């Protein structure tokens, strides 16, 4: 496993946080925002648009665990995160 990666995320924007991954963990590093959305694409796919339609492609993160989200895929995916209404910060363990 590589060193952890810390990513600052602007509010209301889809940001690619990982490329071509099959496993790992995402940890919330700030209390705000309370809501993060995530989606994925096959590696090299197109980022979702920063519109209401694009936002609807995401699913709420940190539902089962308030701090950690697991990554698990059979083949490589790109992961995108959308902090709702406030900037955020995540730690990735890939």
Q: What is the CATH number of the domain that holds 51?
A: 2.60.120
How many domains does the chain contain in total?
1
Provide the pLDDT confidence category of residue 1 given band limits of 50, 70 and 90.
low
- Percentage of the chain exceeding pLDDT 90: 89
Q: Measure the CA–CA gap between 62 and 94, rounded to whole angstroms.
A: 17
Considering only residues 52 and 1, tell me which one the structure prediction assigns the higher pLDDT.
52
Check pLDDT > 90 for residue 83. Answer: yes
The range of the structural domain enclosing residue 56 comes to: 5-93
Task: Count Cβ neighbours within 10 Å for each residue of 20-56 and write b for 16 or more, e otherwise.
Answer: ebeebbbbbeeeebeebbbbbbeeeeeebeeeeebbe
DSSP state letter for 54: H
Q: Render pLDDT for 34-56 as a digit per residue (tens, 0 to 9).
A: 899 999 999 999 999 999 999 99
- Which token pair is 60? 């709420």
C-alpha closest to that of 71 among 60, 59, 79, 82 = 79
């Amino acid at each position: 496993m590589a060193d952890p990666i810390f990513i600052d995320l602007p509010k209301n924007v889809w940001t690619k946080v990982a490329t071509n991954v099959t496993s790992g963990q995402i940890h919330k590093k700030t209390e705000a925002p309370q809501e993060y959305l995530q989606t994925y694409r096959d590696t090299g796919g197109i980022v979702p648009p920063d519109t209401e339609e694009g936002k609807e492609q995401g699913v709420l993160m940190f539902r089962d665990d308030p701090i950690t989200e697991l990554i698990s895929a059979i083949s490589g995916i790109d992961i995108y995160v959308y902090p709702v209404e406030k900037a955020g910060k995540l730690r990735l363990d890939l």
